[in-house]
Amino acid sequence: MLTKKSAKIRKEFVCICCDYNTCDKKDYTKHINTAKHKNNTNVVMALSNIEEKSASFINTNTNTNDTTIVCNCGKKYKSRQGLYAHKKKCDALENGKITNATNATNATNATNNQLTLTNDLIIKLLNDNKEMREIIIKQQDQISELLPKIGNNFITNNNNNNKFNIQVFLNERCKDAINMSDFIKSIQVSLQQLDYTKQNGIVNGLSNVIIENMNKLGLYQRPIHCTDIKRESLYIKDDDNWEKDVNKEKIKKAIKDVSTKQFCALSKWTKENPDFQNNEYKQNYYTHTLVAIANNKEHNEEKIIKKLCNNSYIKEE
């Protein structure tokens, strides 16, 4: 006996909440994890709670009267037999119509109440969501406006505090520091320092002279402090006042003055060695030293300033 192979019926997955259907279980699983499905589910659950309460209200009121049968004349009977016996005598009975007026009225009112509550809830939920979205958007706009102001105030206040701390450090803790002009006058270039310049070049030589004399002073007696190595921010004391050397004019003048002192030291050496032109060793010493200290070009000044910044750097307190 031949039998027809029944066609395989694909199972369909349906989401009533979202009016969505698919034959692919993976797509259905993906759907129930979406925000749209979760929101719709929450609304349906809320409506279900109201429907349950409404149904309970309807049952409570209808169950007490569902066995009551009312004649058109208004008399009530608990059984159809009683009504049947009555309707033979009832003059008000027309066309044999028997109604359950109480049940119909209660059911209609309960249904209307349920629909009203459901509609009110949906409208309230929609309004609440709209208001919530408007509040969130408004708050985001306010935050966007406030963030730059907060950031700028923080930066401004932070900068002001840093400047204030630097001024306190310089004017109170370093108030007895020596003036830069007096510091330069106090420098005496030795023959050892001249030799160092001859062997290591003008950048290292001049830096060495200034740093060696600077290290002889205490931290609070020095005439120069650096607060930012990268930007080469220098504060120099002169004429009994601390000022930021914005254009680096003061530090460059100090470097040139120390360079002049090197020439003076070499000149003093020639006076102490009048035979240097006739002595090959002394003549070589003089020539090489003069070439070294005379190579004080502008790009060398920048390198010297960088070394001085590293040596005089102090953290802002």
Tens of pLDDT along the chain (317 residues)? 444 445 556 677 888 768 788 888 888 898 889 987 887 777 667 655 654 554 454 444 444 445 577 776 777 777 777 777 777 677 655 444 444 445 555 555 655 665 666 667 667 776 776 777 778 777 777 777 776 666 555 455 555 555 558 888 888 888 889 999 999 999 999 999 999 988 999 899 999 999 999 999 989 999 999 988 899 889 999 999 999 988 889 999 999 999 999 889 999 999 999 998 888 998 898 889 888 888 767 788 899 999 999 988 887 55
Contact of 286 with 185, CB cutoff 8 Å: no
Alpha-carbon distance 217 to 317, whole Å?
Answer: 21
CB count within 10 Å of CB 220 equals 14
Burial of 33 (0-12, 13-18, 19+ CB in 10 A): exposed
Give the integer Cα–Cα distance in Å for 97 and 9.
Answer: 50
The whole-number pLDDT of residue 160 equals: 53
Q: In sequence order, what DSSP letters do the residues of 162-174 get, joined into one string?
A: HHHHHHHIIIIIT
**So what's the pLDDT on residue 185?**
92
